[in-house]
Structure 1
Amino acid sequence: MRLWSRELWRLALIVAAASLVGWLLGFASLGLAAGLAIVLLLQLRQLHALHRWLTRHPHAEPPAARGLWGELFDRLYKYQKAQRITQQRLRDTLKRIQDSSEAMSDSVVMLDRRGDLEWWNSAAGHMLGLQTVHDRGQHITNLLRDPRFIDYFNARDYREPLTLTSPIDERQVLQFQITLYGDDERLLMARDITRLHRLEQMRRDFVANVSHELRTPLTVLAGYLETYTDIADQLPPRLARGLGQMEAQTSRMQNLVNDLLLLSRLEIDRRGDDEAPVAVESLLEAIRRDAESLSAGRHRLLVECHDPRQLVGSEQELRSAISNLVFNAVRYAGDGRHITLRWRTQGDAACLEVEDDGEGIDPVHIPRLTERFYRVDKGRSTATGGTGLGLAIVKHVLLRHDAHLEIVSHPGRGALFRCVFPATRLSRPSAVALSSQA
């Protein structure tokens, strides 16, 4: 502020001196004009120096000046210097990020808010076939044209990764994961999981083959046990006492083998060939009757249908999934409980729900319930004859029907298992179906 006042006084003195000289010579107006002209020329001279410095030598020392202009030059120089230091730090940081990305074996691709390619590391060039010169600025879906990737990209739901074969090598399996950041920009990462995919395939084949091989000896064993049970009164008491337990354990092993075979088939076959409109109310009624047989009067089972539409899918697979949920409720809800099978609409989707008012489940277990062989209470599950594969089967059946499973439960407040299906899986019942139901 003092510099500004001093500069104003200096300019005012120049104008006053010129005016005084003009007044003494008898030309006061000319003196004032001359004074103003001198002030303007001085300011233009400093502006010219500033322009030359900024355009020709912006990184050099500022031109010498006094007063307010000298302060302005010094401040601009300090600001430029700070900006250069900041820019250099940003360049160094960006270079370290790019160098670290280049060292990664996973592909890293930066996309702008429109989905156009901005930058990628060398691994992305090898995995995805990206070329620096030709592909920069191209939309990602012009290069990755798999319909599943396009749907994944446009859905903007990137909570789960997407597994696809490489666009340049069908023998290579990649896992894609997109992350939103900045101004609606995207970071695409692709990881080579070919080895893991092969190991997983080997595990599936092993489970399927072993389960298939176990089927025959178990069938033979069950047949002989049934025969011996029929003549148990003719056997020595020591042998007859163990027949019932042997028969129960053989039946449990057969159920386990059947569940393993079903789970293997669901994992291998991504889509069923027997999809058709399913009358949900009739399906739930049939499942209710089976559950009542298992319950033996210990529970009250209800069916509620609030939507007349049918569900497009595999009736056999849907029956297996819903039956697992209902039978679990019968086994674990506790005697005297109510179990409700419900078919209703939720927004644009439809829900198949199995709800009970039983003992409930601690929420800490819910994220792992669909894992194979995971048990909340191992002792109780063994006593009830469960295989530990029921919810894993439910999960894979729903995935094949573009649906997902939601679980809501708290100890002492019952449990709700909700199968949420998209609107594309719904259809109106035909006139023939309506007349047959009537």
Structure 2
Amino acid sequence: MKNRLSSRLRLTLSGVTLLTLLLMCVLVFAGMYFQTTADNREQLRQQAAQLSSYLEASDDPVSLLEGSVFTQRVTYLDTDGTVLYDSEVDASRLESHAGREEFQQARENGEAFTARSSATLGQTSLYYAKRLADGRVIRVSGTQRGMLRQVRDLLGYLLLGAVLCFGAAMAFSRPLAKRLAAPMNEVNLDQPLESDVYEELSPMLRRMAQQNARIADQMASLTAQRHELDTVLGGMKEGFVILDEKRHVLTMNNAARAMFCITNDPVGQPMIAVSRDEALLRLLDGQGTECAMQLNGMTIHLSRSHVEGGGTALLMQDVTAAQAAEASRRQFSANVSHELRTPLTTISGYAELLSSGMLQKPEDATEFGRKILAESRRLLTLIEDIIRLSRLDEGVRGEVTPVDLTALIQHCVQKLTPAAQNAQVSISASGNDPVLISGDHALLEEMLTNLLENGIKYNHAGGYVRARAEMADGRAVVTVADNGVGIAPEDQQRVFERFYRVDKSRSKQTGGTGLGLSIVKHGAQVHHAQIAMQSALGEGTTITLTFPAQSSGKK
């Protein structure tokens, strides 16, 4: 940049010098030419004035002129333009000068001055004519070199001067360029208006400051937009990836990194280095706009869209839970159909027998009616449990009120005591101190009832079911324990699934629907409670519900 500035400065300085020299020469030569012309005119006028005084005083002007010696050409003209005398040419050989401009003007105005140039000779002839008292005209003429000839005569000196000036300009331009550029090199580009430089640069510095302000505003806007985009992408549960036209990663949010199980920054890497999944690569090759891929034990739904400029955007959705939920829904539908069909088939069969009139013993009708009633109650209980689960799935909650878990356990134990006595199982509630939480009283009662009923149903004669509510570390804890049949380890994680039964034959005998523990699980989720199970085959089962501290209290 410095060399370019120095070269431009040398050329500019040399050009200005040459133009200045040329202009000065033109002005000098023009001044000299016009001054010389004025001097020559004055000389011719003085000589003509002197001659006119002599001629007017002489009786024989022609003889006077013929006896004189002149340095300039002198012509004496009669009133009609006839040449009476010429100092250089025989007058008889000259034609009449009546048509000459200087003669005509002198006759009219008393005097005249004219000039005629000769391109061939490169000189100019000057004529001064003066009218005498008798009407005759005396003319004095001389020559001077033309301006172009003077320039041509001095051309060598002019060229020499131009070469010297050009050399001097070239020699002084480099240090001059450095001196001129030094303040510009010290300009603070971040704060240009604070720089002490040439006043002529002020408009440029103002524009630089305005441009800096615009750039700063644009950068701030881009930073804000980038921050907003990062915030949006960071808060997305879905994975989001943007690739350039070469399939290099431009952006990948945290959700996508978690799905690919990468911890380093993938920006700038080719997508194939992140994942070589065939479904993903086919999608990037343009084979469709959506696909599913298995990634680290998850089922990922991919959507591809085009980005202006040739890039690609990928939206990744983890549909593992959705697929599991769909499978669970289908299983639930199948289970509901089966569970409903069983009591309905029983009811329909007994009703058909009753309506056919084929019964021979009255006690058979009573037994059939009893079985129809039992299956109807079982069906009603099943429907109520299904409705309850459906409402829990939809997030429908009852009124939240203060609930004393100790009193609620005692109420449920009292309510189920007859059933326990029929099964020859002892049931009891320990603890007298109130344990308060805020919750759905009806739902909590159903949860405790289900736990106590399971302890009674899946027990043996002489067994027990014990329930207790207490405060531990500021949290409300409910424990329901029995010494019944117990649950195998492989079944303990599944007993909270809908319609899952460990012993289907025993459940059928006891009238269980397979939804009791599922309701307990969903009820615990509604109350943000933790549920834990300890069980062993032949030893019994203990289920513990731990409610959060902020919703509990103790008197």
Q: TM-score range by the shorter chain?
A: 0.3 to 0.5
State TM-score, norm by structure 1: 0.48
Q: TM-score, normalised by structure 2?
A: 0.38
| Greater helix share, structure number | 1
Which of structures 1 and 2 has the larger relative contact order (alpha carbons within 8 angstroms, sep 6+)? 1
